[in-house]
Structure 1
Amino acid sequence: MFVEPMLLATAPAPFSDSRYIFEPKIDGHRLIFSQKNGAVRLYTRHNNDCTRQYPEIAGALFPHDIVLDGEIACVDPATGISDFESVMTRFQAKKADKVAALIRTLPSTFVIFDVLQYNGKDLRKLPLMQRKEILASIPLPSVSFGVVPFIEGAGEALFEQIEAQAMEGVVGKRKDSAYETGRRSDNWRKVINWSYADVFITGYRKEEFGWLAAVPALDNAKMRPAGIIELGANPTHKKAFYNVVKPLITGEDRNFVYVEPRIRARVKMRNWTKSGMLRSPVFERFII
């Protein structure tokens, strides 16, 4: 059975609080693991069934029926850190032969951080620390499962370690929090370890908002595409851009208007992808 996951609010900065535990934020995708009457189904946070993508997870059984919340991770053996692009490669593979090959080259791990139901009991109204105790007592069925570690109170110290290892971020959770299904709550708060980059805006969408971003190529002789900025710009930013961009237009096609690379912007992002693109860029400010 699918259970709508509890969603994270965003904290503006790292924080420490004795009322909270702090966990490393796993760079993967959310997974609800449901075992009922010996049958396992896996679901994304949006209730998409992804059981066939992860047979090494779906093929393992717990002693009793259970519903778990966690993340799918694909750990880079060189760094010990989950690689999001590898996770997406696993998630997008649907054909059995492709999945079988990826189990060997990109094995997945289900990193668990909460237990929602166990052996016929709904645990969601219990305080988080009581759920953590129950989770710690449950034997894991295979090496493809793990439990996310946590520390109490010291969120800023953990965030410093996360920054040093270039990991995704930290999640703070109130020790007494119930599991609030399907909504964002300040009882669970994420702090993202953003990276920053300076880019040139080389065009814009004609319909919905989006600025094309580019960075100098290795030889600095020309620009190379780096993604589309869709988030972060407020009405004042957009007005300022469109007030000055008209003389810079060089051409257009069905979807975009292209401009000379004269306008620079600072963006924050999760990281650079392996293909040199900005991952989830957010506009911060213009560079003048």
Structure 2
Amino acid sequence: MTSPGPLLPPVEVALARAVPSLPVAREGQRLAYEPKFDGHRLVIFRLEDAVRMQARSGRIVTRAFPDLEAAARPLPPGTVLDGEVVVWAGGRTDFASVQKRAFAATGSRAARLARELPASYAAFDLLAQGGEDLRPLPYAQRRARLMALLEPLGPPLQAVPMTTDPELAATWYEALTAIGVEGLVVKNLDEPYRAGRHWRKVRHAETRDAVVVGVVGPRLRPRSLALVLPGDDDPVVSSPLSPAVRAQLAAALRELPEAEPPAPPGELPTALDTVGTRITYRPIPPELTVEVRQESTVRHAATTVTRLRVGE
């Protein structure tokens, strides 16, 4: 296979669509099952003289992960990995800690957080090697190359576990909740890597965690929240908060410092709400985690906050 040149950021990433039950292979089909880590999607580019890291949105976030940048330097130039950043705490993945890492605004803060909350990288695909674009290859071939590449390196860069045995996959689906893994991603071993929702995912819970990065309305009594969901870095605006959730949030928001530096009203960031309208929000430090429920509407997913997670 030939390539017109090295694969460079940004690249559009492959995504998964939700399905209600664990898929099984049809006749002539070969499936792979992988744990679904709720972390921060990250594409790692080992260039000739540097390492670059791209979030799902295409934003370059290398500065936020100095530990992973150092870990990626031994990779051969021309390598491009796709995977998820996770932080382990108490034997479980901790999505809130991942977001603290991802939103580190300065080099000094990123370095401190790298010491306090060291990141691991769960690689699930190899998009390029030696400058060769591997995306057209079947996943089975990309997976074999990924394993051969990462096995000599070891943590914090590791390939996610994978099985082609549906019975073992079912066991994983039930057992891995103990370490914070809420589901599986299912891929066709014969398919190339394509942007869009060609993979499938199945989850245990209808709810998931999200990190609060901003408020819409008064700071201590917000109407809605700007949230970052697992695997994404583009904030979304929640549905209007219930009175009970507003009451829960009031005390927690009062204890948070203002974002530094506070943005003038005309320069506030925006995020999409449940009908696709861009809404301005006031940034806050990514210290609060909420439980959310997502429901599909005609055009967008409505994100409803069900409760504030406290001390969990």
- Per mean C-alpha deviation after superposition, the further-off stretch among 156-165 and 41-50 is 156-165
Q: Which residue of 1 aligns with 2:108?
A: 97
Does residue 156 in structure 1 map to residue 170 in structure 2? Answer: yes
Give, in angstroms, the shift of residue 113 of structure 1. Answer: 0.6
- CA distance in 2 between counterparts of 1:275 and 1:39 reads 34
> What is the aligned counterpart of 1:112 among 112, 115, 123?
123
Report SS of the residue matched to 1:210: coil
Q: Deviations over 1:138-189 (max 9, x none)?
A: 1454632111001113143321123454423110011111101x2221xx10
Report SS of the residue matched to 1:98: helix
Q: Which residue of 1 aligns with 2:193?
A: 179
Q: Deviations over 1:238-276 (max 9, x none)?
A: xxxxxxxxxxxxxxxxx9xxxxxxxxxxxxxxxxx9957
Q: Deviations over 1:77-133 (max 9, x none)?
A: x22x32110000000112121111111110011111110110121111111011111
How do residues 201-240 of structure 1 correspond to structure 2 at under 5 angstroms? Answer: 210-213=239-242, 215=244, 224-225=248-249
* Cα 1:214–1:177 shift into 2, 3 Å: farther
Q: Which residue of 1 aligns with 2:212?
A: none
Does residue 10 in structure 1 map to residue 18 in structure 2? Answer: yes
* Cα 1:196–1:127 shift into 2, 3 Å: closer
How do residues 259-278 of structure 1 correspond to structure 2 at under 5 angstroms? Answer: 277-278=290-291
- CA distance in 1 between counterparts of 2:183 and 2:82 reads 18
Matched to 2:99, the amino acid is: M
* Cα 1:88–1:209 shift into 2, 3 Å: closer
Matched to 1:158, the amino acid is: W
* Cα 1:194–1:274 shift into 2, 3 Å: farther
Alignment check: 8 A CA contact 2:223 2:240 kept: yes
Report SS of the residue matched to 2:128: strand
- In the alignment, structure 2 segments of 5+ residues that lack a partner are 1-7, 209-221, 225-236, 251-272, 276-280, 296-301, 304-312
How do residues 48-87 of structure 1 correspond to structure 2 at under 5 angstroms? Answer: 48-59=59-70, 60-76=73-89, 78-79=90-91, 81-87=92-98
Q: Which residue of 1 aligns with 2:258?
A: none
Q: Which residue of 2 aligns with 1:251?
A: none
- CA distance in 1 between counterparts of 2:38 and 2:178 reads 15
Matched to 2:127, the amino acid is: L
- Per mean C-alpha deviation after superposition, the further-off stretch among 50-59 and 6-15 is 6-15
Equivalent pairs counted in the alignment come to: 228
Q: Which residue of 2 aligns with 1:264?
A: none
Q: Report the aligned-residue RMSD.
A: 3.4
Alignment check: 8 A CA contact 1:162 1:170 kept: no
Could you state the TM-score of these two structures normalised by the residue count of structure 1?
A: 0.68
Could you state the TM-score of these two structures normalised by the residue count of structure 2?
A: 0.64
- CA distance in 2 between counterparts of 1:211 and 1:117 reads 43
Matched to 1:149, the amino acid is: P
- CA distance in 2 between counterparts of 1:58 and 1:280 reads 34
Matched to 2:197, the amino acid is: R
Q: Which residue of 1 aligns with 2:292?
A: 279
Matched to 1:167, the amino acid is: V
Alignment check: 8 A CA contact 1:28 1:84 kept: yes
Report SS of the residue matched to 2:147: helix
- CA distance in 2 between counterparts of 1:209 and 1:92 reads 19
Give, in angstroms, the shift of residue 210 of structure 1. Answer: 2.3
- In the alignment, structure 1 segments of 5+ residues that lack a partner are 198-202, 217-221, 234-254, 256-272
- CA distance in 2 between counterparts of 1:32 and 1:275 reads 26
Matched to 1:6, the amino acid is: A
- Identity within the alignment, %: 29
- CA distance in 1 between counterparts of 2:289 and 2:113 reads 23
Higher radius of gyration, 1 or 2: 1
Q: Deviations over 1:16-67 (max 9, x none)?
A: 3372111001110111101121311000011100001111111223134201
How do residues 186-197 of structure 1 correspond to structure 2 at under 5 angstroms? Answer: 188-195=199-206
Report SS of the residue matched to 1:151: coil
* Cα 1:61–1:170 shift into 2, 3 Å: same
Q: Which residue of 2 aligns with 1:237?
A: none
